[in-house]
Amino acid sequence: MADSLILEVADFEHDVLTGIYSEETGKAQPLRFTIRVWMRPLPRYDAETPLADSKNYMDLKFAASDALPEGVHFKLIEAVADHVCETLFLQDTRIERVEVKIVKLAIAEAGEKIGITLLRERRA
């Protein structure tokens, strides 16, 4: 098994225009994101290893917030997750795999977590 470096931002909330029902269209709703990316790690990290030899995990948060196109309504949260994956692949060629979990907070009735997880591998 090859070594992997997994970066994660968990339980980040951001309002996104999404949904298919009339009460969902035209207004943003809160989504909770957990984003993980897999990269090939260096053979060794030491105290002086610079950030450029890894990835700034704030880029993961950016992909699920500022990188989403303003004013675009995503019918499916699957499309939101796909956009996040593509953004991260474009940001950094070292990323091999992206996992995006999205929970729709507005539809929970009793604290349940309703949503999707999309796992994408870089295509050649």
| pTM, entire model | 0.92
d(CA 21, CA 120): 27
Per-residue pLDDT tens for 64-94?
999 999 999 999 999 999 999 999 999 999 9
Per-residue pLDDT tens for 3-55?
999 999 999 999 999 998 877 788 899 999 999 999 999 999 999 999 999 89
Q: At residue 86, what is the residue type?
A: E
- The full set of domains in the chain, from first to last, is 5-44+51-121 (3.30.1130.10)
> Tokens at residue 41, please?
């790690």
Break the chain down into helix, strand, coil percent, rounded to 5. 20, 35, 45
Q: Alpha-carbon torsion 33, 74, 68, 56, what sign?
A: positive
